[in-house]
């Protein structure tokens, strides 16, 4: 009687795992179709169409916006790939535990991807601030007034972000431009705008040359950016070590499977294997967290 119950339980677990795998495969196919459709729309929009050019029609901006929304939708769902991967592992191991682990990993992976996107946006904004300082200085040396130079450079570089309208309105209508620039500097990655605000205030109050101050500010910001890039290049080896540490357990499972040891059955269907899986997963997570903390500490320093 007990053997029949165990057999029925195993059969139900395998059926659940197979159903989950089929569902995950369907999700993967849907995701691939949506990505292909978005990429096709993007290619259709970008192929031979230049903004303001002869190939652009009335709805060109709308098509570009639709393509950008589709691409953002596809990129925003990369974390859901954990489900089909865990579904395949659950099917191979005959246990729903990998699928549950994949469901738990979706928000964690999504948070890491969002943090990486924010870090990339922060670096891009810092580069735009450097370009803004150089553009304003160049326009001033070309004979433009500070307000005209700031307006032109801000619209060309997009360094002011969400505060662009406020800063340009303050510059055009005689407002407090330094204070508006300081508020814009609170955006992530826009710290250099505080230096631009200081240069603007000194030039207005003391009559100092704004172009010369902006040249020195641009050189300082560019040097800081280059130093940060050199540091990241030096830490690339440490990040590679962290990646290898993350992949080693998976390589061990693949090697055990190739040797015929069936590690998934041992890990997912025996008490000792489940205990090893829990302890090993906890140690793996702690090791990766500690290594990543050390590397990020070096970046911050």
Residues in the chain: 301
Distance CA 167, CA 190 (A): 14
Output 64 or 248, whichever has higher pLDDT.
Answer: 248
pLDDT of residue 47: 42
User: Where exactly are the structural domains of the chain?
Assistant: 1-46+63-95, 122-225, 235-301
Does the pLDDT of residue 210 top 60, yes or no?
yes
pLDDT single digits (tens) 176-193: 899 999 999 999 888 899
Burial class (CB in 10 A: 0-12, 13-18, 19+), 137: buried
Distance CA 225, CA 233 (A): 12
Does the pLDDT of residue 79 top 50, yes or no?
yes
Query: Do 225 and 219 form a contact (C-beta atoms < 8 A)?
Result: no
Does the pLDDT of residue 287 top 60, yes or no?
yes
Query: Do 17 and 91 form a contact (C-beta atoms < 8 A)?
Result: yes
Does the pLDDT of residue 231 top 80, yes or no?
yes
* Encoded tokens for 206: 């003391």
**Closest listed residue to residue 218, CA positions, set 151, 162, 136, 124:** 136
Does the pLDDT of residue 45 top 60, yes or no?
no
- In Å, how far from its chain's centre is CA 66? 21
pLDDT band at 10 (very low <50, low <70, confident <90, very high): very low
pLDDT single digits (tens) 88-101: 888 888 888 888 88
Does the pLDDT of residue 65 top 50, yes or no?
yes
pLDDT > 90: percent of the chain: 14
Distance CA 245, CA 237 (A): 12
Q: How much is the average pLDDT of 105-121?
A: 87
Does the pLDDT of residue 84 top 60, yes or no?
yes
Burial class (CB in 10 A: 0-12, 13-18, 19+), 240: exposed
Whole-angstrom CA distances from 33 to 47, 72, 82, 99 are 21, 15, 18, 23
Distance CA 178, CA 181 (A): 5
Whole-angstrom CA distances from 194 to 15, 29, 199, 213, 217 are 61, 48, 9, 13, 10
DSSP reduced 3-state for 280:
helix
pLDDT > 70: percent of the chain: 72
Please state the pTM of the whole predicted model.
0.65
Does the pLDDT of residue 265 top 50, yes or no?
yes
Query: Do 261 and 86 form a contact (C-beta atoms < 8 A)?
Result: no
Longest Cα–Cα distance in the chain: 96
- Supply the mean pLDDT for the chain: 78
pLDDT band at 130 (very low <50, low <70, confident <90, very high): very high
**Helix 236-258 and helix 271-300: axis angle, to 10°?**
170
pLDDT of residue 297: 79
pLDDT of residue 8: 47
Does the pLDDT of residue 167 top 60, yes or no?
yes
pLDDT of residue 46: 40
Does the pLDDT of residue 33 top 60, yes or no?
no
């Amino acid at each position: 009687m007990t053997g029949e119950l165990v057999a029925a339980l195993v059969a139900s677990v395998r059926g659940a795992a197979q159903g989950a795998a089929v569902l995950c495969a369907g999700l993967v196919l849907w995701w691939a179709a949506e990505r292909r459709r978005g990429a096709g729309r993007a290619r259709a929009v970008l192929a031979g169409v230049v903004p303001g050019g002869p190939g652009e029609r009335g709805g060109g901006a709308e098509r570009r916006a639709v393509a950008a929304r589709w691409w953002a939708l596809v990129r925003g769902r990369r974390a859901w790939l954990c489900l089909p991967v865990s579904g395949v592992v659950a099917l191979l191991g005959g246990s729903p535990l990998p699928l549950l682990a994949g469901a738990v990993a979706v928000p964690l992976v999504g948070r890491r991807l969002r943090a990486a996107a924010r870090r990339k946006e922060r670096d891009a904004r810092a580069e735009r601030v450097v370009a803004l300082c150089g553009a304003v200085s160049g326009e001033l040396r070309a004979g433009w007034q500070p307000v005209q130079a700031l307006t032109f450079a801000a619209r060309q570089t997009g360094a002011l972000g969400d505060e662009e309208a406020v800063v340009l309105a303050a510059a055009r209508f005689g407002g407090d431009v330094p204070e508006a620039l300081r508020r814009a500097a609170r955006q992530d990655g826009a710290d250099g705008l505080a230096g631009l605000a200081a240069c603007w205030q000194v030039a207005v109050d003391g009559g100092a040359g704004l172009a010369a101050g902006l040249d020195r500010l641009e050189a300082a910001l560019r040097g800081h950016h280059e130093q940060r890039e050199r540091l990241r290049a030096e830490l690339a080896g440490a990040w590679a070590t962290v990646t290898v540490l993350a992949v080693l357990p998976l390589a061990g499972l693949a090697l055990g499977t190739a040797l015929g040891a069936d590690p998934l059955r041992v890990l997912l269907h025996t008490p000792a294997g489940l205990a090893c899986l829990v302890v090993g997963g906890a140690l793996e997570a702690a090791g990766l967290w500690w290594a990543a903390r050390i590397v990020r500490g070096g970046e911050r320093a």
